[in-house]
Amino acid sequence: MVEYLGLWVLLALALNMWALLSVWPSGAGWRAKALWTVALLALPGLAFFAWYLIGPRRSG
């Protein structure tokens, strides 16, 4: 079980990076972008799921 911990950490890091990289090109204002960035850095797991569920969507 412990040998898979590194894979879970890498997965969580990759998902958090995806969320961070999708925050800034979004159509949200700079304050919302700054708050999302702080949340993603402070609470990576929780903020990722919040971004996935309620974050801005791309139209198209």
Chain mean position to CA 7: 18
Q: pTM value?
A: 0.71
The per-residue pLDDT for 60 is 46
pLDDT tens digit string along 20-51?
888 888 888 899 889 988 988 898 778 888 88
Helix (H, G, I), strand (E, B) or coil at 20: helix
The per-residue pLDDT for 3 is 74
- Which of these, 1, 52, 59, lies nearest to 23 by C-alpha position? 52
How far apart CA 14 and CA 24 sit, in angstroms, is 16
Within 10 A of 51 (CB to CB), how many other CB atoms are there?
21
Residue predicted with more confidence, 13 or 4 = 13
